[in-house]
Structure 1
Amino acid sequence: MEDSKSTGQVLNESVDRLLARKLLSIKQLSEGIDADMLESTLDKRIPKSEKTIEKTKVDDSGSKSTSAVA
């Protein structure tokens, strides 16, 4: 039996790798954005109450934890 991949399999793997890299980039970008940066970018004041961001983490077991980040 020959161990070769079809063109579709190779293409799917390439797309998966590209998406994984892009998703990581988006995640890193979103983690670096804070309320002060948004204020300066949008040229609009954000009320203090809206500056608190909640981060929800889900671990491998599926349990969730939420923490406030000022």
Structure 2
Amino acid sequence: MSRGDEVSWRSRGNEVTGKVKKKITERTRAAGRTVDASEEEPQYEVESDASGRSAVHKPDALRKKGRSG
């Protein structure tokens, strides 16, 4: 996944869509919390289309939205 990719994830039982803002590969603060990421286990900061809020998720929590037709 890379910046600008459209993705979806689950949040509080709902499907949320948004875009990847950046790939995080080191321990840092993002989206209001400490993110324990590394090159081997990156995480992604995403921005919700609906609320504009940022969140951080591991790759297995995100689904890249396919483009059809």
Question: Do they fold alike, i.e. is TM over 0.5?
Answer: no
Give the structure-1-normalised TM-score.
Answer: 0.26
**Whose Rg is larger?**
1
Q: Which one has a larger percent helix, Structure 1 or Structure 2?
A: 1
Greater RCO, 1 or 2 (C-alpha within 8 Å, sep 6+): 2
Give the structure-2-normalised TM-score.
Answer: 0.26
